[in-house]
Structure 1
Amino acid sequence: MATRTRRPERREEPLSREGIVEVAIELLDATGEGGLTFRALGERLATGPGAIYWHVANKGELLGAATDAVVAAALAVEPAGSPTSPQDEIRAVALGLFHAIDAHPWLAAQLSTQLSRSPWGSVAPRIFESIGRRVRSLGVPEDSWFTATSVLVHYILGAAGQNAANTAHARTLGPGANRAEFLDAVSSAWEELDPDDYPFTRAVASRLREHDDREQFLAGIDLALTGITAPHPPGEQAPTPPTT
């Protein structure tokens, strides 16, 4: 008796670019950039690659759209409490990006790619605008807006990216790996360094054992904000340039 091949279930709702990007993010989280193929995407969406190409031209465009979607959601995080200050809002934006980069292992590399190769795309201006508006609200003079915003953006993405790299490395150590044990081993190794060559590293080695990545990240934000606002405290008006 002949058997009939079972056809894949047909989609009940129309395919959309937003839906494709949402599933692409799920695939990236589960399998990384290498696992994001139009074939795998089509299987999850119960459609053919041709239907996906109608909405997204290629994998590069899809990666850019996925990155932009995750960043947009991260930047939408509101600070806790009320009323809030520009500093509170910058911390909320920074933490939103920190947690997004930690939650999506592929994001740090994509952000680096987007900011270095496609700074005219949507991702770089979105991040720069979100931080820059708050920097402007701090009373920073206009001629310092770009530098102050760049400092914060570089610190946020760099520190969050390093934290994500540490998390990814910890996963490679196996299910029995323990963060506290790993930090204790590193700290012990630092304490054994030559005291003449590494006096500072030995002095702070014990701090490594118990540090909290999130708290350390926020401490860095506060240090940057202190440096940015010190010459011009919030509420102080920048001097008016002399007229000629």
Structure 2
Amino acid sequence: MAQRTRADALSRERIVEAAVELLDADGERGLTFRTLTERLATGPGAIYWHVPNKGELLAAATASVIGDALTVATTGSPWEEIRALGIGLFEAIDRHPWLSAQLAVQLSRSPWSSVTPRIFDSIGRRVSALGVPEATWFTATSALAHYIFGAAGQNAANARVLRSGGTDRAEYLRAAASAWEELDPAEFPFLKSIADQVREHDDREQFLTGIDLILTGITAQGRT
């Protein structure tokens, strides 16, 4: 890589951008200050000036990706905006395989850091605009956030397993559905009955339907 010029000044934003690129390529193990200096054609001192350690670098990379995912258009419909936030986070976690683990770390260990407040406030403002009782805002927002991260994380994990095994998703679902159809109906009546739904389902549509189900329950409380 060509040596960067003084005019092409190193910034925290460029460091974080390069960190995201390295994380996308090789996960957390691929992000070191050595690989980062090579990617940016600079010395470690220039990076340490902006980011003192790997933990802060991971947090900054997470915040950057999440910030983009939380950028949704104002439509005047809190329900639709929550759906847009959900699919934005779903797709971000799908595109960045390392993100789910980093979110889990920040949500559990650093709820006061920049990421957790931004996520909960973005969802919570729309929940409060639904007209539901204020006493339910925290629980309702938490339910949505936990569903979004759980479902998106599981989807991303499934995709990684399929990619690593070189397995086609449609083929995998057909095999799973066929196996469920062969189950003993006396022991597994439910799984056998939904096998055909598994074969043709769309992950994003299923995810959004889950958000709609939660929102239906949340808004029902406001009518009681």
1:124 equivalenced with 2:116 (yes/no): yes
SS in structure 2 of the partner of residue 231 of structure 1: helix
Opposite residue 215 of structure 1, the aligned amino acid is E
Q: 1:69 pairs with 64, 67, 83, which one? A: 64
Distance 2:41 2:5 in 1: 6
Q: 1:151 pairs with 131, 140, 143, which one? A: 143
Aligned residues: 223
Once the two structures are superposed, residues 190-241 of structure 1 have per-residue CA deviations (whole angstroms, 9 ceiling, x without a partner) of: 11222221110110011100000000000000000000001215xxxx9xxx
SS in structure 1 of the partner of residue 50 of structure 2: coil
Where do 5+ consecutive residues of structure 1 fail to align?
A: 1-6, 239-244
- 1:84 Cα deviation after fit: 3.4
Report the equivalent of 1:242: none
- 1:14 Cα deviation after fit: 1.5
The TM-score with structure 1 as length reference comes to: 0.88
Report the equivalent of 2:50: 55
Opposite residue 227 of structure 1, the aligned amino acid is G
Paired residues of 1:191 and 1:205 also in contact (CA < 8 A): yes
Superposed counterparts of 1:1-244, under 5 Å = 9-12=3-6, 13-78=8-73, 83-174=75-166, 177-233=167-223
Paired residues of 2:133 and 2:221 also in contact (CA < 8 A): no
Higher Cα Rg, which structure: 1
Runs of 4+ in 1 over 3 A off after TM superposition: none
SS in structure 2 of the partner of residue 202 of structure 1: helix
Once the two structures are superposed, residues 161-209 of structure 1 have per-residue CA deviations (whole angstroms, 9 ceiling, x without a partner) of: 11101111111112xx221111011111111222221110110011100
Is the helix fraction higher in 1 or 2?
A: 2
Distance 1:131 1:120 in 2: 16
Distance 1:126 1:139 in 2: 21
Distance 1:117 1:25 in 2: 21
Once the two structures are superposed, residues 56-85 of structure 1 have per-residue CA deviations (whole angstroms, 9 ceiling, x without a partner) of: 111111000000000010000326xxx531
SS in structure 1 of the partner of residue 183 of structure 2: coil
Q: CA RMSD in A?
A: 1.5
The TM-score with structure 2 as length reference comes to: 0.95
Where do 5+ consecutive residues of structure 2 fail to align?
A: none
Opposite residue 152 of structure 2, the aligned amino acid is A
- 1:10 Cα deviation after fit: 3.8
Distance 1:11 1:20 in 2: 15
SS in structure 2 of the partner of residue 87 of structure 1: helix
